[in-house]
Structure 1
Amino acid sequence: MKLMMKALPLAISVALVSTAHADEATDKKIAQLEQQVKSLQKQQTASLADKFNFNGFISVGYQSADNSAGYNGATTSADFEQDSKLGFQGTFNISNQTQAVLQLMMRGDNDWEVEAEWAYISHRFDNGLQARAGKLRVPLFMYSDYLDVGYAQPFARPPGEVYDQVPFSSYTGGDLSYDVEFEDSTLTMQAFGGQSDVETDTVELDLSNVLGANISWTDLTWTLRGVYGQTQLDGSLLDDGNAILPVNDETATFTGVGGSYDNGSFIAIAEWTQMEIDGLLADNESGYITLGYRINQFTPYVTAAYLKTTDEAERALPPLFPLALALNEERTAYSVGVRWDAIDNVALKFDVTHATDFGDTHGGLDNNPYDLLTGTFKYDSTTVYSVKVDAVF
């Protein structure tokens, strides 16, 4: 018994030492596992960062006019919303050939509501063909892909005589594009199709069977481009929320050509478009030319643009007089401005645009009423003054 009593403390000590070693081994193993988990998390985070690209753009604009005719929405009051917008774009690289792209836009003239301008999946096949599907920008103009990115444009805003004539900028559907690489230039061919809709205070339209194709060539100095598109229209024109002209399965076609020259100093850009619509809706023709010259960080520019309807005879009969007043348009606009690339990724722009030559029309301006007593419209010209800051990040 005495021997057992003497051996008991020794056994307890051995057990405690063994337990201590076991706990130490367990703690070491747990620490190793935690380190492995952290390493895996770091690798996953790095991999995700490699797959995801994020960028954005912002424009803050001020404008006012010498009257309230409404060119670009301008009046005699200071306006900081019409040309102000904020956009975020994220690109997730699903694989080396497949991407998912989302662009969210907030516009001052739309109460800063968030809307998805782009939301699509893109895949480039081994033969070089690229396919995209989802919500896409309708590729009708030279600046369609950068329509909201003011920093990518030399002027304060794309000329409304051309760019405001198509009432929608995005569609849901898909496109196919293919690049042909030459020694010093690239030829790009694109076909697109889908559907869209337009809902404003003056029009409600469903656009089905949106189809088109464009082709462009560039050697990074010269760029030439041509586009054709068509769609079926259903809906109506509105006046105070009431339908005044039904639109039933009418075909609309769009044709455009454009070109630019940029040798690093001298800039020249021109576009011409024509839109034809069956029925009583207005056909129109429009175009512009912009010339600019870079002097260090400054780029002064001038723009001349025009717009006119080409089917006034279809609305010339007396019963259609109110419709002629609403749809006939004619306008010439002249802009003088300067872009100052103040710092990296930030440009400050000053612009003065004078719109005139309305003929016997309202000039395409919403706030230009017709006076029955005098038989004339209230305004025959307007001048808009703009200051704008464009940035990318």
Structure 2
Amino acid sequence: MSKIYPVIALMLLASQTHAIELIDDHLRLSGFGTFGVTQSDNPTPYYLNRNIVDETCYDCDTTLGLQLDARFLGSFKASVQVVKRPEDSFSDPSFEWAYIGWEASDDLELRAGRLRIPLQLASDYYFVGQSYPWLRLPSEVYNASAGVNYFEGVSAEYRFELGELWTGTFIPFYGFEQTNDLDRLNEFWEIEIEYLRGFSVRIEDDSLTTQISYLDTKLTNNTTYTGGGLYELIQASGMPATVSNDFEFQLLNLGVIYTVGAWEIWSEWGASRTKSAFGEGKGRVGYLGAGYHIGTWTPYALFAKDYSEGAAASASTTAGLRWDVLSNVSVNLEYTYTKLDGEFNPTSPFAPQPHGQFVYSPYDYTVGFNPISGPSFDWFTYGEDHANIFSLGVNFTF
């Protein structure tokens, strides 16, 4: 519980302050955070990197970020963002970006360093809960790239006008070799990215924002099994616990934000293709969400779905209420129901069982091994194929 107090102190500070100008027009400090309390009714962990289970969790949605922006030599700038993400401890935060930029003209900026992948509508402010109506972004869409949010490479940002009302931004990007780690609790992934490239085009006016993005990457996923029935089978069979697979992955994402009257409507849809030694797979994900502003109150609802035929197939429904206490402080009360769409297949212990938006499948087995008859499998479930998740969050910026 002691971890909570620094966050509460910063929330109180945030309610009275905005970004801090350390050196006028040259050095600026800002920050953001979310303090969340959440609980599921299913012991199977829900939502990658948040691991929400059937015990009250004070850290599953809690984030804290600091950003330092500098400007020097007229047209040069630098930015560093450090974030304690939900999966991090406060003593070991992550550098989410650290880059140097050059404003070559009024319309063109070049950047190099660690940069955020401009893939979805909220990619640039993924951890800034104050920036979107719901407490957490839909896992079906925002975890489609296996939790990899940044790349190390170069990008350009070209701004242009379309008529008198519309403005546009074109961002091509290229990422070099990098390695990302992902803990799926029963599996540990070491993702070795050979290259990462793509583009994003955003066109907007006062009420409508549209975005199309494309990502193409080649990678090797080294999966080390650390628990569960497959781990037991590997141990009993004397097979290596780490398996390496090469993948080619492409993802096309379309997004829209539309505000009309008191309504705020968000929608994103993604289509992906994966090629590996096991063949080719296709995925489709999407969500539609809306909030209605009534003074400082915003009731909202969101439906998200993974249309894939694989283990991730699922659907989630969210309803919540947001209260904007101040311009930079808000409170979310939220309920989510999520359910698997995939079919349980006990005929093959190596076949991926449906997990939907859970970190791993609720279907698992223990292994008995007889040197004559071979292994036997005793199937069981960690929990149901669905979950009800209740959450309370306080967001702030300064």
Q: TM-score range by the shorter chain?
A: 0.7 to 0.9
How far apart, CA to CA, are the structure 2 residues paired with 1:215 and 1:350?
A: 33
3-state SS of paired residue (1:81): coil
How far apart, CA to CA, are the structure 2 residues paired with 1:203 and 1:183?
A: 48
1:97–1:268 CA distance, 2 compared to 1 (3 A): same
Q: Are 2:363 and 2:380, in contact at CA under 8 Å, matched by a contact in 1?
A: no
User: Which residue number in structure 2 is paired with residue 32 of structure 1?
Assistant: none
Q: What displacement does 1:68 show?
A: 1.3
Give the superposed CA RMSD: 2.1
Question: Structure 1-normalised TM-score?
Answer: 0.79
**Within-5 A mapping of 1:224-235:** 224-235=210-221
How far apart, CA to CA, are the structure 1 residues paired with 2:318 and 2:22?
A: 48
**Counterpart check, 1:390 vs 2:370:** no
Which AA in structure 2 matches 1:246?
Answer: S
1:276–1:84 CA distance, 2 compared to 1 (3 A): same
**Counterpart check, 1:166 vs 2:145:** yes
3-state SS of paired residue (2:24): helix
Q: Tell me which of 258, 261, 286 is aligned to 1:261.
A: 258
How far apart, CA to CA, are the structure 2 residues paired with 1:187 and 1:243?
A: 48
**Counterpart check, 1:365 vs 2:365:** no
User: Which residue number in structure 2 is paired with residue 294 of structure 1?
Assistant: 293
Q: What displacement does 1:204 show?
A: 1.1
User: Which residue number in structure 2 is paired with residue 247 of structure 1?
Assistant: 245
Q: Tell me which of 105, 111, 127 is aligned to 1:148.
A: 127
Q: What displacement does 1:71 show?
A: 1.6
**Within-5 A mapping of 1:9-28:** none
Which protein is richer in strand relative to its size? 2
Moved more, 353-362 or 182-191: 353-362
User: Which residue number in structure 2 is paired with residue 102 of structure 1?
Assistant: 80
**Post-superposition CA distance 1:139-176 (Å, at most 9, x none):** 11100000011101111111011111212001101101
1:237–1:264 CA distance, 2 compared to 1 (3 A): farther
User: Which residue number in structure 1 is paired with residue 29 of structure 2?
Assistant: 54
Q: Are 2:134 and 2:320, in contact at CA under 8 Å, matched by a contact in 1?
A: yes
**Within-5 A mapping of 1:3-152:** 48-72=23-47, 73-112=51-90, 113-126=92-105, 128-152=107-131
**Post-superposition CA distance 1:215-250 (Å, at most 9, x none):** 1110020111111111111232221186554223x3
How far apart, CA to CA, are the structure 2 residues paired with 1:160 and 1:108?
A: 14
User: Which residue number in structure 2 is paired with residue 199 of structure 1?
Assistant: 181
Give the gaps of 5 or more residues in structure 2.
1-20, 228-239, 344-353, 366-376
Which AA in structure 2 matches 1:306?
Answer: K
Q: Tell me which of 273, 280, 284 is aligned to 2:270.
A: 273
How far apart, CA to CA, are the structure 1 residues paired with 2:291 and 2:128?
A: 19
How far apart, CA to CA, are the structure 1 residues paired with 2:195 and 2:143?
A: 21
How far apart, CA to CA, are the structure 1 residues paired with 2:106 and 2:57?
A: 50
3-state SS of paired residue (1:233): strand
Q: Are 1:370 and 1:378, in contact at CA under 8 Å, matched by a contact in 2?
A: no
User: Which residue number in structure 2 is paired with residue 33 of structure 1?
Assistant: none
Q: Are 1:333 and 1:355, in contact at CA under 8 Å, matched by a contact in 2?
A: yes
Question: Structure 2-normalised TM-score?
Answer: 0.78
How far apart, CA to CA, are the structure 1 residues paired with 2:298 and 2:335?
A: 15
1:67–1:145 CA distance, 2 compared to 1 (3 A): same
**Counterpart check, 1:305 vs 2:304:** yes
Structure number with larger C-alpha Rg: 1
Q: Tell me which of 307, 319, 332 is aligned to 1:336.
A: 319
Q: What displacement does 1:129 show?
A: 1.2
Which AA in structure 1 matches 2:27?
Answer: F
**Post-superposition CA distance 1:122-149 (Å, at most 9, x none):** 1111262111111000111100000011
Q: What displacement does 1:342 show?
A: 1.1
Q: Are 1:69 and 1:366, in contact at CA under 8 Å, matched by a contact in 2?
A: yes
Moved more, 88-97 or 46-55: 46-55
Q: What displacement does 1:270 show?
A: 0.4
How far apart, CA to CA, are the structure 2 residues paired with 1:269 and 1:204?
A: 33
3-state SS of paired residue (2:130): helix
